Structure 1
Amino acid sequence: MAYDQLNTLIAASQILTTGPYFCPICQQPVIKRVGLYKVAHFAHYQKACLEANVSEGETVEHLKGKLQLVEFFKDHYQTSLEVYFPQIKQRADLLLQNKERKIAIEFQCSPISLTKLMERTSGYQQLGISVIWILGQRYFNQLNKESVLTKFGTLVNHKVIVLAWDIRLKYLKIIAGLAKCDFQKILLITRQVQTYEQYYQALMAIKQLKVNLQINATLRARHALKWAQYIYRGSQQKTVKRWAYRDGCQLVGAPWLVHATVKMPLGLKCLQAEWRCQNILNLQQYQIGEVISLMELKKRWLRPVDWWPMRPDLLVASQMRLMDQMITDLVVVGVLRPVNTTHVEYIAKPQWFKNLDKKYQSYKN
């Protein structure tokens, strides 16, 4: 993109006149280049400006996608392409503005590290600008993967929302990661919209959607069998295995408490049963009757290796829900007793079983 003599930002593929044209960052003259294999683009006559690294190399998909997104949003926002922010040395693919807020759109067609993603997101937030990441074609086959959902997602009413744009069919795909439980696929909802009105309606419907998160007794019993198979394959983390041996516990006979009664938000990389089993083994290092700070307990449960690399807002929200549910379940089964809002008392050790048969027998009883 470059500015023409009227200070209008245009794409190299769209221009009909011969110029002159100017760099949006340094305002120096640029020249249009086009070939048989490379997309039409502007280049500096001599050395590029010092801050030219604020944008990635343009691809056909990236350019077309930006122009299509302008059409998608233009009736509801003031739209500006490739807006440069010198304070943070970043250039947004698209900036949306209305009376209430500004939104930077990042149309991500190439790989990007979580560190770089967070740096760009944080830069916009410093300026009071929200940011929405919209994924390109290379991510379409990965939109059901938790690593992608948690990396690019936005939290909307406890649901992780990810957006992707198809330049060929000109539609926006909305993927909502609602919840998950062990040994099952993530509970997803997918919508395809072609207008902003459809997009807004779909988001409101997803936001207000009531999801049954309960895990019934039959499914919990099936999880116990899957857990036993998981243990027999030796798939569990070494830490969990070592702690179980230390306490003389059989992982196959882990307490029913490890099998959650509700589906949980995305973010946990390992099985929830494995994470809960580790927490129970950690809890057993305390003495019966000991009063424990909830802050201390939760701190011991937050092992970075257990979580997908994800944005801090998503990570904290997911961690808090998982830990609060764990505390609630420990209280319900009589392992912990609330002392006040900040402390609990460890009043009983969870019941472990010698084998899977004993475990199932206790469940039927």
Structure 2
Amino acid sequence: MLQAKLNNGKLITPAMFPRQKVLELKSGKHVYFCPVCGERVILRAGEKVIAHFAHAKDADCPTIGGGEGAYHEQGKLRLYQWLRNQGLKVKLESYVPEIRQRPDLLVHVQDKRIAIEYQCVKIATEEIISRTTGYQQAGIHVLWILGDKLMKRRGSQMLRLDSFKKALIHQYSPEYPLSIFYFCPLTSKFIKFQDLTFINTHHAVGKLTISPLRQTNLRELLSKAYVSKGVLNSIWKREKKRFRLSRKYRVYGREKGWLNWLYEKGVYKEQLPSIVHLPILSAYLLKVPGWIWQSQIVFQVLARVRIGGIVSLSQCIKVTKDDLLSPEDFSLITSPMDPILEYLLLLCEAGILERTSETTFKKISEIQLHTELETAIQTDSLLIDTLFKNNNH
């Protein structure tokens, strides 16, 4: 931790002092105490270690949970100074006793409290959910910012997001784009990834914005940014073409099972209808990529219904239920969408279905398998044009 109390109860933050002052504080002339449990703590500082306090190994303090190292401490301090420079009331490592949690930073903005967690190592999804819901129950808004070293970039508009990072996707309202925030203490830059859409289980495309700390305030950090329709159109056309043309010599798990399932139906990937593998904003709620669960809906539900027949949302959920994640796993998303309903609505735009009620749809067009690869790619492109023309994304 960066702060401790002196005998007089005053909080002290050695990391903000010049090197000579830190050495004086470390000389043994002073005694320091944990602001939470009141036990004595030790000031540690060195050439490569930012000045911080540590409990004894046998200390019994609710805040002890394993430090994240100098990178984390440096980033936390920079963010603290950044918020103070904006004239905001901010506390460093403030303990919230009613929920027994200590956010890295606790900011007061008018009548709101915002807990900022600067996370630089992977933790269990269950811990993210527990800490987030704890703040929410205490009426505290929460912002998780990841250390830049955790970012896995795949080109200018794509990131790799594992289950840990997926749990840190923010959406403060239905109108707010899906967002993830990063900060690098070494370059003093924020990296904001917004309006993201998953093209497969772990890769998402979105709007990547990099901004210097000194040129950004809290409001700007939380502002909305979107990918243009034209860019999304191009990305998804390339993705659909890649999907058609890609050849994997070795496949495993669900992908192998899915290909065998298609083979049993006498269908090859190149023949799939263009309505398989469409962009779904809430695809983070699925354990498998879009081409698997969407083809299940197409072949196990839609293809079995005659023109004029009714397709229900519950039918489609039934064939995909084993691959659906619980919205409760995404505690930072306040109004999760239903990916199955979202897909059925896209099929309405594609001219396959017509909505008849909140949960039912009428089939108005047959689903065609492709016989030629070139025609499939052309039809994919035309469908993407239609969807992004109609979508107010």
Structures share fold, TM-score greater than 0.5: yes
Structure-1 separation of matches of 2:116 and 2:238: 45
Structure 1 residue 282 corresponds to structure 2 residue 300:
yes
Residue 26 (structure 1) aligns with: 37
User: How far off is 1:79 after superposition?
Assistant: 0.6
1:249 aligns with 2:267: yes
Query: Does structure 2 conserve the Cα–Cα contact (< 8 Å) formed by 1:178 and 1:265?
Result: no
Residue 83 of structure 2 is aligned to residue 73 of structure 1: yes
Distance 1:95 1:73 in 2: 10
- 2:388 match: none
Name the residue aligned to 2:135. Answer: 124
How far apart are 1:227 and its partner, in Å? 1.9
Q: Matches of 2:186 and 2:209 in 1, distance apart?
A: 18
Structure-2 change in CA distance of 1:334 and 1:126 (3 Å): same
Equivalent position to 1:350, from 353, 367, 373: 367
Secondary structure of the 1:256 match is coil
- Give the AA of the match of 1:10: I
Equivalent residue number for residue 70 of structure 2: 60
The residue aligned with 2:357 is 340
Give the structure 2 partner of residue 171 of structure 1. 189
93-102 or 274-283, which moves further after superposition? Answer: 274-283
1:37-69 CA deviation, whole Å, 9 max, x = no partner?
A: 76544345683024243x432522222222221
- Label 1:361 to 1:214 Cα distance change in 2 as closer, same or farther (>3 A): closer
Query: Whole-Å Cα distance in 1 between the matches of residues 238 and 98 of structure 2?
Result: 57
- Identical positions, percent: 23
Corresponding residue of 2:4:
2
CA RMSD across the alignment: 4.1
| TM-score, normalised with respect to structure 1 | 0.78
Partner residue in 2 for 1:162: 180
Partner of 1:237: 255
How far apart are the structure 1 equivalents of 2:161 and 2:48? 36
Question: Distance in 1 between the 2:189 and 2:379 partners?
Answer: 53
Distance 2:260 2:301 in 1: 15
> In structure 2, which of residues 157, 160, 166 is the aligned counterpart of residue 145 of structure 1?
160
Deviations 1:220-246 (A, max 9, x none): 498256325347875772443344345
| 1:254–1:352 Cα contact (<8 Å) kept | yes
Unaligned runs of 5+ in 1: none
Contact preservation (8 Å) 2:44, 2:54: yes
| SS state at 1:154 partner | coil
- Map 1:36-47; keep pairs closer than 5 Å: 40-44=51-55, 47=58
Could you tell me which runs of 5 or more consecutive residues in structure 2 were left unpaired when the two chains were aligned.
383-393
Matches of 1:364 and 1:68 in 2, distance apart? 46
Inter-partner Cα distance in structure 2 for 1:25 and 1:342:
52
2:9 & 2:81 partners in 1: Cα distance? 20
Q: Which deviates the most, 333-342 or 98-107?
A: 333-342
Shift of 1:273: 3.2
SS of equivalent to 2:110: coil
The range that moved more, 175-184 or 40-49, is 175-184
What is the CA-CA distance between 1:163 and the residue it aligns to? 2.2
